[in-house]
Amino acid sequence: MTSAVFLIHWVFREKAFVEEFRCMNPWVRWMTASALITVAINHVEAQVALSAAGDGHDVVPVTVNGRGPYPFVLDTGADGSAVYQWFADKAMLKKAPGGTEELSGQTGSSQVTMYSIGSLELDGYRLRHAKAYGLPNRHDSGKEAGVLGNDFMDGVVVAFDYLCRRVEVHAKPIDQDKVIGKGAPATLSGHVKGNDLLILPVMVNGVSGMAILDTGSRNTRMTTSFAQAAGIDASSSEFHDGEPIYGANSKPMVPRSGPIGSVGFAGVSVNAVTAQVIDLPVLKEDFGDKPAMLLGADLLGNFRLLYDHQARVIWVRPSSCSASK
């Protein structure tokens, strides 16, 4: 249910209002209903609460084929939506014609089962007749049912605001002054051949590289060669082994976690960043030996990120909430 519909629904549950509404003459009743709808549309934002999944990810409530809601990660680092195997079994999802497709993940590629889904819906915004990748079950305590990818986010502008613990989904065209801020500078993003993920220039300790915008990654991760070029020694005592990363192929890779200094992107800069150093196959595949990294939710969570995948544009703005919230 959208926020506007919810407001109207709530008003008409109030018995006193309903009785008064029934007693109005038809003209006044029509005017009152029109005013309610106008207020709802113009003054209520489409906001969805972020909740913790128990493994470091934040999730949003998604209905699948009209049932739910179920916890999904809203993931700018995924071209297509996906479901975990336990959920595909529980929801009795039908396999898509063709059976399997290759899915490229952080730790490599794997052939996975494809599922047909009638609808995926978040706060009234719906992706119909979706095909979803089947993911192996997680190896941690996460309770995610799946991932909403860029196939869902095309056609809307999504505002990620981790500090305020919410996501906003705005149908296009948007009122940029209201949603983004008057005069806010936009960053045009590129993409690499073979996928549709957004990439942008990044600076680590003054050294240039390229980064994938990845809200589905809990951590910011960079290649060893990028770290070395930026004066970072991941073998030092300041670093430690992080938790294994499991991708679509379920092959674990262990990163080195520690301080990497300052990171700049899209007109903003963050100091004293903690990140992971690891040579992920996905970065090798997309960038070869060039300095590369994933900008994860830990770093992006310092800001209000506005994301228009279809137009390949992002805005990075200050959050209206403090880190203590």
pLDDT grade for 43, boundaries at 50, 70 and 90: very low
Residue 268 has pLDDT above 80, yes or no: yes
pLDDT band at 2 (very low <50, low <70, confident <90, very high): very low
| Cβ atoms of 219 and 298 closer than 8 Å | yes
Mean pLDDT of 96-123: 93
Q: Which residue has the higher pLDDT, 55 or 223?
A: 223
Q: How far is CA 304 from CA 87, 161, 163, 184, 300, in A?
A: 31, 5, 8, 12, 8
pLDDT at 322: 75
Query: What is the location of CATH 2.40.70.10 in the chain?
Result: 48-178, 180-317
Confirm if 306 and 314 have CB atoms less than 8 A apart.
yes
Strand, coil or helix: 15:
helix
Task: Check residue 20 and give its pLDDT.
Answer: 57
| DSSP characters over 276-293 | EE---HHHHHHHTTS-EE
Rounded to an integer, the average pLDDT of 103-117 is: 93
Q: What CA–CA distance (Å, rounded) separates 228 from 15? A: 67
38 pLDDT more than 50:
no
**Topology at the third CATH level for domain 180-317:** Cathepsin D, subunit A; domain 1 (2.40.70)
> Model-level pTM?
0.84
pLDDT band at 24 (very low <50, low <70, confident <90, very high): low
**Does 18 have pLDDT greater than 70?**
no
How many whole angstroms separate alpha carbon 244 and alpha carbon 278?
11
pLDDT value at residue 141: 82
Q: Which of 132, 131, 142, 117 is nearest to 55 (CA)?
A: 142
The residue-averaged pLDDT of 10-19 equals 46
Average pLDDT rounded to a whole number, residues 244-253:
89
In the structure, what pLDDT confidence band is assigned to residue 42 with cuts at 50, 70 and 90?
very low
The pair of three-digit structure tokens given for residue 301, joined into one six-digit string: 């969570």
Q: Is the pLDDT of residue 277 over 80?
A: yes
Bigger pLDDT: 196 or 14?
196
Q: Letter for the amino acid at 316?
A: V
Q: Does 10 have pLDDT greater than 50?
A: no
The CATH H-level superfamily of 48-178 is Acid Proteases (2.40.70.10)
State the CB neighbour count (10 A cutoff) for residue 244. Answer: 13
Mean pLDDT calculated for residue range 292-310: 97
